[in-house]
Amino acid sequence: MERNLQIKELFLKKFDKPVTELKFKNLYELIVCVMLSAQCTDKRVNLITPNLFKAYPDIKSLANANLSSLKSYIQSCSFFNNKAQNLIKMAKAVCENFNGEIPLNEKDLKSLAGVGQKTAHVVLIEWCGANFMAVDTHVFRVSHRLNLSKAKTPEATEEDLTRIFKDNLNYLHQAMVLFGRYTCKAKKPLCKECFLSHLCTSKDKEI
């Protein structure tokens, strides 16, 4: 427990109230960015979205989008065929079921096409500062390397992290994303530069 608390405190100290690297101006742009970022880099999403949001500036225009036209804007994104279909379905559902207002609770967000638990949590973390953990590939890898979880799924890993950390989950989520992206990388982690090296016993550790 003491070690876990140390890890938590070091994350919060090292990353001072971190936010996502996705670029967005409003809630509509945020949910689209987060949906596009699944299994795709934030850097790639940020290259796609300026032209995308010029073409579809709001939820209504996205709901009425032509599928093949939408695909042409996001074709450099992984799984763009599925994502294009889900984006239109999501926008239609927001217009039909929520009067054009993107809902800000987990249950309603998860009712939208293409929005799973992770996406819903990231939207609520970034827009509302909600006390949620969201587990992407970076958070999954970091939490397992630091022995914070042995769970096999992102959902179960999220439960472990929520139980261990309890609060400041929004900042801890983003800190772990950035830490996994730039320091605790999948290949060739930068262990010599790592501020958690003294607490890490991972077999992937490179000294």
Which DSSP state fits 18? -
Among 94, 96, 72, which Cα is nearest to 83's? 72
Task: Say if residues 143 and 161 touch (Cβ distance below 8 Å).
Answer: yes
Structure tokens that stand for 119 in this block: 């996406």
Instruction: Give me the catalytic one of 14, 89, 136, 160.
Output: 136
Residue 42 is among the residues annotated as catalytic for this protein: no
Both tokens of 138, joined, read 């970076």
Residues 6+ apart with CB under 8 A from 55: 61, 65, 69, 73
What span, in angstroms and rounded, lies between the C-alpha atoms of 110 and 123? 11
The closest of 112, 21, 35 to 79, measured between CA atoms, is 35
Q: Is 118 a catalytic residue?
A: yes
Q: Which of 8, 118, 192, 204 is catalytic?
A: 118
User: Is the distance from CB of 33 to CB of 23 less than 8 angstroms?
Assistant: yes
Number of Cβ atoms within 10 Å of the Cβ of 186: 11
Copy the structure tokens of residue 122.
Answer: 């990231």
Give me the active site residues, please: 118, 136
